[in-house]
Amino acid sequence: MIVRAAAKDDFASLAALFERDHSPCYCRYWHFAGTNKEWEARCALEPEKNREELASALGAGEGYGLIAVDATVVGWMKLVPQPAMHKLLKRSPYKALEAPEVWSIGCFLVDPEHRRRGVATALVRGALELAPALGAKVLEAYPRVFEGMHDGEQWTGPYAMFASLGFEVFRDQPQYPVVRKTLVATP
């Protein structure tokens, strides 16, 4: 399996991953300006808009993310400058976090046939290597911690994975912790 930055030419394979998982979001939730009800309606009735936005973002070089490739794309991880995640920064658990030197691990999608095989961990390791070259000084993630969550509900990544990779709790909220890892010492 190879982990690398997603490029414009990867769109068809990346879209196929979302389609195999029956995931209509195409990783656009954190960028959607409407309400949660409007988001749900869009995913149910107009998922092609999300698909088109992902294609456009990748084409413009703004669709930062990493892919895991094993003959085809089997994993995706959003990796963006934190201020680009407008919706995140408006949600209660994440208000007052905005920091331009921080890059966010926004979400994951791992092919159901490849889950629990280290794909998400490989993607985070890839981010730890790639992010400094993009200008990141700190990586931040937003695992949700609820009992009984199934794999598909852990789209922001499991807390235990981040802890095992050296991320530390930055904001301790029982179900919505914020974890960070410093990549380069900040002055």
Domain segments of the chain as ranges: 2-182
**Is pLDDT at 81 greater than 70 in this prediction?**
yes
Average pLDDT over residues 156-161: 91
Paired sense of beta strands 178-182 and 168-171, if any? antiparallel
Instruction: Spell out the residues 6+ positions from residue 106 whose beta carbon is closer than 8 angstroms to its own.
Output: 27, 30, 78, 79, 80, 85, 88, 142, 156
Query: What tokens does 113 get?
Result: 């046939």
Q: What is the pTM of this model?
A: 0.90
CATH number of 2-182: 3.40.630.30
Kindly list the distances between the CA atom of residue 70 and the CA atoms of 3, 17, 48, 61, 73, in Å, as whole numbers in the listed order: 9, 12, 26, 23, 6
H helices present in 46-141, as ranges: 47-59, 86-90, 119-134
Q: Are 165 and 125 in contact (CB under 8 A)?
A: yes
- pLDDT tens digits, residue range 106-132? 899 999 999 989 999 999 999 999 999
**Is pLDDT at 93 greater than 80 in this prediction?**
yes
CA 175, chain centre distance (Å): 18
Give the DSSP per-residue string, 136-161: -SEEEE-----TT--GGG-TT--HHH
Query: Residue 86: what pLDDT?
Result: 84
Query: Residue 146: what pLDDT?
Result: 79
* Helix, strand or coil, per DSSP, at residue 40: helix
Give the whole-angstrom CA distance, residue 113 versus residue 81.
Answer: 30
186, 114, 179, 99: which is closest to 140 by C-alpha? 179
Helix (H) or strand (E) holding 73: strand 72-81
Sheet holding 178-182, edge to edge: 2-5, 65-70, 72-81, 102-110, 138-141, 178-182, 168-171
Average pLDDT over residues 20-43: 93
